[in-house]
Structure formats: structure tokens, C-alpha cells
Amino acid sequence: METIQLSDEKHRYEFSEISCLHIKEIHHGLLPFLGPKLLGELYKALTKLKLISIWAVKSDGRIIGFLAGTHVSNKRALGFFFKKKSILALRLMIRLFSVPQSARMVVSLVKNSAKNVFFKNKTRSRPQAELLAIAVDKCFQGSGIGKALILCYEDFVEKSGLNEYVVMTNVNENGSNAFYKAMGFKEHCLTPHHDLVLRVYIKEIDKAKNA
């Protein structure tokens, strides 16, 4: 097995592999509705703009696990993406609104975002860095791949001058919740996310290393 960090120039085929693995293993959220081709284009564009970084684990020439994370605030990243990749952004919205279920999810997401603006949560603010997606092929789960990807991302977060990051997962997914708790994440709060409720976790890297 080898772990690589993807770049938009050297790993063009890998973005397609990652999008397929995402759709196969991550069943909630809007991204699976994009389909593998458009999702691959999105991952590649975000990587090229340096809004996210992606690490992947390969075995026998194919990707069996990946992690996507950022050290840029969501609001800043979203605005920059729409400015630099307006045509791709338009294609994404057309695809999402062409499917009734994903269209309802987008509307719900906008409503929840508006509520957060007008009714600010009084709990501790979230870190800037965020683990956006992590997936491991079912045949390789439990073999330490997820942990190895987490460590790659934490090294990246530290080198970015930050010492904590956030991740969100569906409250009903027992496997992912158990994984994050085992990796030292602390529960922060619950938050609505279109038709789901997500559990928000925060991990402080320095404390985890000194534990």
C-alpha cells in the first residue's frame, strides 16, 4: 500500500476513482447526486484552487481509501470557488436541481444556513480546518487505513499553523461515530443539514499527541 497526496496535474485518473469511492461508501449528503464524472471534476477543481487537499491510499494500482480536508473557512472557499469556477458551479446547480430529492435538500440547506445567520449558536465556535470526507473500501475497513489518512491530514493542519479541526457525520451512522470517538474526537454539538441531523466533532491535535 502507498499513501499519496493528489495534485490536479499528476493524478487526473485518481479523481475519477475517488468520486466513485465517495458515492459507493458515503450515502448521505448532496455530492452523490452529482454522479462520478461531475463529482470528480469538482474534487479536481477544488484541489487546483488549493481550497481542499486530498490524500489517497492505493493498493495494487487502485484507490482503496481517501480523505479530503481543508484549512480554509467555508464561506471564503465557497465565494472563491463560485468566482473562479462559475461555469462548473452552474453545472453543479443544474444537476442538483434536476433531481427532486437533491433540489429539496438544497432548499433545506439554504434555510438552515439562514437560521444560523439570524440565530447564532451560543456554543463554542467551530475551528477553521475541516475534514470534509473520508471513505475506505468496505473490503479494507478495519485495517488502519482511516487512521493513516487522519494522521496525514493532521500533519497538514499543523503545518498550516492550526491545532484543531472539525468533522461532521450523520448521527445515525454508528460506524463513523464510533470511528471518530476512537480517534480522539470530542462531541461538540448537533446541527441540521438539509434532511439530516449531523453530529459535530472537534479534535485538538496537540492534546491528542500528548495523551
pLDDT tens, 121-165?
545 566 789 999 999 999 999 899 999 999 999 999 999 999 999
pLDDT of residue 118: 47
15 Cα distance to chain centroid: 14
Measure the N-to-C terminal CA separation of the chain; round to a whole number of Å: 28
In this predicted structure, the answer to whether residue 120 has a pLDDT above a threshold of 70 is no
Residue 92 is which amino acid?
L
Place of cell 433531481: 99
79-112 exposure pattern, b = at least 16 Cβ within 10 A, e = fewer: eebeeebeebbeebeebbeeeeebeebbeebeee
pLDDT of residue 114: 56
pLDDT tens digits, 63-103? 999 999 999 877 777 888 888 999 999 999 999 999 999 99
Residue 206 or 33, more confident: 33
pLDDT of residue 125: 66
To the nearest whole percent, how much of the chain has pLDDT over 70? Answer: 90
Residue 117's pLDDT band, with cuts at 50, 70 and 90, is very low
pLDDT of residue 52: 93
Residue 99 is which amino acid?
V
In this predicted structure, the answer to whether residue 211 has a pLDDT above a threshold of 50 is no
- In the three-class reduction of DSSP (H, G, I as helix; E, B as strand; rest coil), residue 195 is classed as coil
Residue 22: Cβ-neighbour burial (10 angstroms; 0-12, 13-18, 19+) = buried
To the nearest whole percent, how much of the chain has pLDDT over 90? Answer: 65
Residue 106 or 18, more confident: 18
Write a three-state SS string for 108-146: HHHHHHHHHHHCCCCCCCCCCEEEEEEEECHHHCCCCHH
Count of CB atoms within 10 A of residue 26's CB? 17
Residue 110's pLDDT band, with cuts at 50, 70 and 90, is confident
